[in-house]
Amino acid sequence: MTLAMSGQAVESGIAVGQAHIIESRELQIAEYRLDEGAIPAEIERLNLALDAVKAYLESLSAKVIGGAGGSAEEIIRTHIFMVSDDALSQAAKERIHELKCNAEWALQVQLGDLLTQFRQIDDPYIATRADDVVQVVRMIQKFLATGAPAEPITSIEGRLAHTLAVASELTPGDVAALRERGIAGIITEHGSPYSHTAILARSLGIPTVMGVRRAQSLINEGEQLILDGHYGIVLAEPEESIVRHYLSKQAETDRFLQNLESVRDKTARSLDGINITLMANTERSEELQRVRHDGALGVGLYRSEFLFLQGALPDENTQYATYRSAVECLDGGPLVVRTLDIGSDKDIGLTDFSDPGHHPNPAMGLRAVRLCLREREMFKTQLRAILRASAHGDIRCLIPMLTSTQEVLAVRSLMEEVSEELTEAGIAFNRDIPLGGMIEVPAAALAIHELGRHLDFLSIGTNDLIQYALATDRVDESVAHLYEPDHPGIVQLLRQIFRAAQEIEIPLAVCGELAGDRRYTRLLLALGLREFSMQPRSLLEVKQVIRETDISRANAALREWIQSGGGGAENSLVNFLDSAQLDR
């Protein structure tokens, strides 16, 4: 009998093959005291381990990633950087001196410290950094314990072309090594789609489903498995007819993915002739230089908080230079700079305004624009830098987490103040810089008529909007199954936003993850979306779906779905919209 399991869809694609269970490699970290005289040798032992792990990662990068660049290489590079970073290696050596303990334990104590710092930052992207540090420390500890840096899956011999790895959790290094062996698909019990392991699996194109509860105990070694990375489904011991169905789907998906390159130079125009604007979400300079080549008009979401993660407030000139060089990379294309989106819980070392208060529910606390309006000088510095950079290209300013009209008016008034100061100082800037608002708070979504009147454009942050509307933490894997972008309530909420935006004739984009998830492209087109902003790697996929969509047909199917009260549990809305296109 077929056993169906579900998890988080990480990388599209279908894999069919045999299960291989990868043992968990929980390390026991020994702690022992050292005599003063043994300390130099212990430091030497740590140095050897650091060098060995670094060499291993470098060979992995060259062998597996092949210097091809992109996020895969960048993740391995991040790990290499962390191995030699003073915050880890130097600090661990100091711990050996200070605690007179072995290197494994010194690393463990230092890891604890680093994680405490990371935990204070409630941000999924930063959380991935914490995962990285843990993974790097584990690799070094493993080398110290066994003399073998990281050969996580040597138990699997030969090529794995028809094998699906079933693991508790994997590091990016594990994923790279699995890929070298030609793994067909990956299933893990833990891990979030935001983790670097997930990002690496995506960039290497390995069909992957994460967060499949108890997968290691439910699946037996050698059992036949089907993995559908598009929907996050895993089937064990499937019936023959199901295997046939998936093999034909696999051929279809492979065709879709193979054809992607062919759309690079084509326009994002739907079958019924509607042109769609594609933008990229990025703040990384290498990606900024490529966004036009990847088919984006410009950057629809530049998360400026990345500039603030260095532990100190960047001054006006640093910010100005960064925004300016970003917009200059875009060859005339727009750069939407989102103002600082951190919260009081995110004590990212900005002691200039650290807030010792207790915030029991930080996601709903003093964050983003709320914090900026309290820290007016810091905010004005950012606004001044953005305005100055606007003299050098098409810069637009986007305010995160708006809730009320008062906030918009307060931002406008600060912008006025800053504009006057710049004018008085004779500094050039664009007086008509567009000011946009992110729609992430459900009440703001229901008040577009009111809020939108004071803004030049809107951008829906579906990541937060969905988490708030469904009361489902976007980074809590225990409720990940409740995070449903096509929940009827979310579809209604999005419909209302699109209707209201049309009524007041304000441009509306989506810059949350939904915009780059091709499963939802037809839904967004049917709702009326004409500007998508997404991570660059999704641009071609989404363009391909747009080119294969008749939007009026998608729109009619959506209305039919809503009028009929949904298609019942056996058919999801996204499936329904897909089939409506095939009925042509």
Long-range contacts of 241-248 (CB under 8 A, 24+ apart): 242/2, 243/16, 246/14, 246/16, 247/16
HSE-up of residue 402 (Cα within 13 Å, Cβ side): 33
Residue 253 in contact with ligand PEP, rule: CB under 6 A? no
511 as an active site residue: the answer is: yes
Tokens of residue 392, six digits: 């050098």
x/- binding map, residues 511-530, to ligand PEP, per CB under 6 A? xx------------------
> Please, where are the H alpha helices in 195-266?
196-203, 215-218, 240-258
Rule CB under 6 A: is residue 367 a binding residue for ligand PEP?
Answer: no
What residues contact 311, with CB distance under 8 A and at least 6 apart?
348, 349, 350
462 binds, among Mg ion, ligand PEP, none (CB under 5 to 8 A by kind): ligand PEP
Contacts of ligand PEP in 293-352 (CB under 6 A): 301, 303, 341
Q: Binding partner of residue 436 among Mg ion, ligand PEP, none, CB under 5 to 8 Å per kind? A: none
**Site for Mg ion contains 464 (CB under 5 A):** yes
Residues 425-444 that bind ligand PEP (CB under 6 A): 440
- Pick from 436, 461, 485, 536: which binds ligand PEP (CB under 6 A)? 461
Residue at token pair 């439910």: 218
How many residues bind ligand PEP, per CB under 6 A?
A: 10
Specify the DSSP element, H or E, that contains 14.
strand 14-21
d(CA 442, CA 436): 17
Shorter beta-carbon distance to Mg ion: residue 464 or 513: 464
Stretch that binds ligand PEP, among 76-84, 423-431, 462-470, 566-574 (CB under 6 A): 462-470
Kindly identify the residues of this chain, within the stretch 491-510, that bind ligand PEP according to CB under 6 A. none
Q: How far is CA 568 from CA 102, 205, 488, 560, in A?
A: 60, 32, 12, 13
**Residue 476: which residues within 8 A CB-CB, separation 6 or more?**
none
- Site residue total, Mg ion (CB under 5 A): 3
Q: Provide the b/e sequence for 475-509 (b: ≥16 CB within 10 Å).
A: bebeebeebbbbbeebbebbbebbebbeeeebbbb
Distance (Å, rounded) from C-alpha 106 to C-alpha 91?
Answer: 9
| Interaction of residue 463 with ligand PEP, rule CB under 6 A | yes
Taking CB under 6 A as the binding criterion, the range among 43-51, 106-114, 460-468, 550-558 that sits at the site for ligand PEP is 460-468
Phi (first) and psi of residue 183, to 5 degrees = -55, 145
Amino acid at 298: G
Does 462 bind ligand PEP (CB under 6 A)? Our answer is: yes
Nearer to ligand PEP, 110 or 533 (CB): 533
Q: In whole angstroms, how close is the CB of 9 to ligand PEP at the nearest point?
A: 17
Q: Does 343 bind Mg ion (CB under 5 A)?
A: no
DSSP result, 281-305: E---HHHHTTTTTTT-SSEEEEEGG
What is the distance between the alpha carbons of residues 3 and 24, in angstroms, rounded to a whole number? 23
Which of the choices Mg ion, ligand PEP, none does residue 303 contact, using the CB cut-off of 5 to 8 A by kind?
A: ligand PEP
**Least Å distance between CB 363 and ligand PEP?**
10
Considering the complex, what minimum distance in angstroms separates the CB of residue 511 from ligand PEP?
Answer: 5
Angle at 150 between CA 146 and CA 154, to 5 degrees: 95
Is 454 a known active-site residue?
no
Contacted entry of Mg ion, ligand PEP, none for residue 511, CB cut-off 5 to 8 Å set by kind: ligand PEP
* Site residues (vs ligand PEP, CB under 6 A): 301, 303, 341, 440, 461-464, 511-512
* Site residues (vs Mg ion, CB under 5 A): 440, 461, 464
Task: Give the active site residues.
Answer: 196, 511
